[in-house]
Amino acid sequence: MSAARQAWTIDAALCSPKLLGPGIGDLATWRTWRVVLKAAFALGLGSAEERAIFEEVSGGRPPPEHRVSELWAVLARRTGKSRMAAAVSCYLACFLPRKLAAGEVGEVTIVSASREQAGVVFKYILGFLEASPVLRKEVESATTTEVRLRGNVVLSTRAGNYRTVRGRTLLAAIIDEVAFLHDETSALPDIEVYRALLPALATTGGMLIGISTPYRKLGLLYQKHRDYFGVADPDVLVVSGNAPRFNPTINVSVIERARASDPEAARAEWDAEFRTDIGAFLDDQSIDAAVDYARPLELPPREGVLYHTYVDMGGGRHDASTIGIVHFTGEGDGRRYVADVVRGRKGDPHAAVREFVELARQYRCSVITGDNYGAEWVAGAYREAGYEYRLEKLVRSELYLAGLPLFTRGVVTVPNLAQLLRELRLLERRTARSGKDTVDHGVGGSDDYANALFGALHLAASVPVNREPPIVVPFIGPIYNPVREAFRPAW
């Protein structure tokens, strides 16, 4: 890289009609963004207006004296986050000095919340490069997710999976919409991605940038905002701003309509404030205390034990069909609840019914309880398999709230099942304006295993205290009913 190329600052590159300027457009609408980037790269804030803007969005901290290692931008919607992420990534790949070993490939990567979002950012990257008469000459080749530049440098976009960033030499990394990363195998994908990126950036001294609309008070973005916003840390800069501050062209009437419809959501999406109406349903301490790491994933049935079975049937595509089997030990205040089985399977729901019926027979459960999903189809499928399907009166959210005291009292034991623990950690408790609480999975999450567990816990906890449990007898199949058999459909 030539010395002349390295002399370009990020602000100069954004303003240049030959570099990033054609992709940016009207510079006046990017005034706040330019102030933030000038501060992050320690370029100095020359005017009183720039210093006032920076003080507003940084919580009153002084500008950094050298380029920061981490920049975190907690911003409202429609503030140009993805577009600016693309512009900054192009600058970092094309203008920053790098020292690579012979044959080594340096990479500037943008991690997005989904493949679709990664595709949006990648189109912005191509747009910036193609619009510049200088930068387009740096492109050697391009795929659907990567642009290879001269000098063994790659610009890449990827969906938010921490495994995909390991083993690479990163010159810089940007996490786009970090508050909304999700991974089917991890309850904390944002933190996992962050931990995977740091070693890859360590050898190059690369910059890490996180940009996102805020969500609930949990996770990496919230931690960074809580610990560094307004703090004069030399290496970490956190900025935050509403939609009009970062995008003066925004139609304010749109924001006002959103505020009238859902004030809490509007404060997060348009004012860049973390939501106060959404919190973690279960804290990590309660979940960790419930896990028995020494036991097998499923406990075999035992004689003389009364088991309770609850199923949550899926449609066979995205959701899993799950079953929970629970028993309790002790009486009164000494009761403990053991989740003997929490199992799930995707695919054909008819196969799930057959599997769950066989499992219920092994645990001598003559009744299977579940919700009203699928209405008569589910009940009919279990009747055809020789089992009574009993409809639970409580809806999913009510089952969660009913089972919460069991976790907080520490009387629940669950297996070390990754899918279950992930779902438990991602459950969200929402408080409506009416004061009513509801519980559901978070954005991009699921709760199939958690539903089965809490349903079975509710059944076990509903057995009256100090009442002798009913005598358990082996289940030998449904009682023959000639009237029912006479009217059973041929199919």
Domain containing 403 — which CATH number?
3.30.420.240
CATH number at residue 160: 3.40.50.300
Whether 163 is in a domain gets the answer yes
Q: Same domain for 224 and 300?
A: no
Domain range spanning residue 178? 3-276
- Please give the single-letter amino acid code of residue 38: K
Q: Same domain for 255 and 293?
A: no
Whether 491 is in a domain gets the answer no
Whether 216 is in a domain gets the answer yes
Per-residue pLDDT tens over the stretch 330-349: 987 789 999 999 999 998 88
Q: Please state the rounded mean pLDDT for residues 174-194.
A: 80
3-state secondary structure of 446: coil
Residue 375 reports pLDDT greater than 70? no
Give the chain's domain count: 2
Q: Same domain for 139 and 189?
A: yes
Per-residue pLDDT tens over the stretch 263-305: 888 989 999 999 888 888 998 899 999 999 999 999 999 999 9
Tell me which long-range contacts 283-292 makes (C-beta under 8 A, separation of at least 24).
284/425, 286/407, 286/408, 286/410, 287/407, 287/421, 287/424, 287/425, 289/410, 290/407, 290/410, 290/412, 290/413, 290/414, 291/414, 291/415, 291/416, 291/421, 292/413, 292/414, 292/415, 292/416
Strand partners, 391: 370
Q: Same domain for 126 and 24?
A: yes
Model confidence at 162, pLDDT cuts 50, 70, 90, reads low
Q: Same domain for 254 and 367?
A: no
β-strand pairing of 278-280 with 367-370: unpaired
Q: Same domain for 235 and 312?
A: no
Q: Same domain for 249 and 363?
A: no
Whether 251 is in a domain gets the answer yes
Q: Same domain for 350 and 270?
A: no
Q: Same domain for 157 and 202?
A: yes
Whether 228 is in a domain gets the answer yes
Q: Same domain for 351 and 227?
A: no
Q: Please state the rounded mean pLDDT for residues 151-161.
A: 86
Q: Same domain for 264 and 384?
A: no
Whether 337 is in a domain gets the answer yes
If you compute the radius of gyration of the chain from its CA atoms, what whole number of angstroms results? Answer: 28
Whether 257 is in a domain gets the answer yes
Query: DSSP letters of 86-98?
Result: HHHHHHHHHHS--
Per-residue pLDDT tens over the stretch 203-214: 888 999 999 999
Q: Same domain for 464 and 419?
A: yes
- CA atoms of 238 and 225, how far apart (whole Å): 6
Per-residue pLDDT tens over the stretch 17-36: 999 999 998 999 999 999 99
Whether 488 is in a domain gets the answer no
pLDDT for the residue 189: 83
Write down which residue in 276, 301, 322 finishes a domain. 276
Per-residue pLDDT tens over the stretch 205-239: 899 999 999 988 888 999 999 999 999 999 999 99
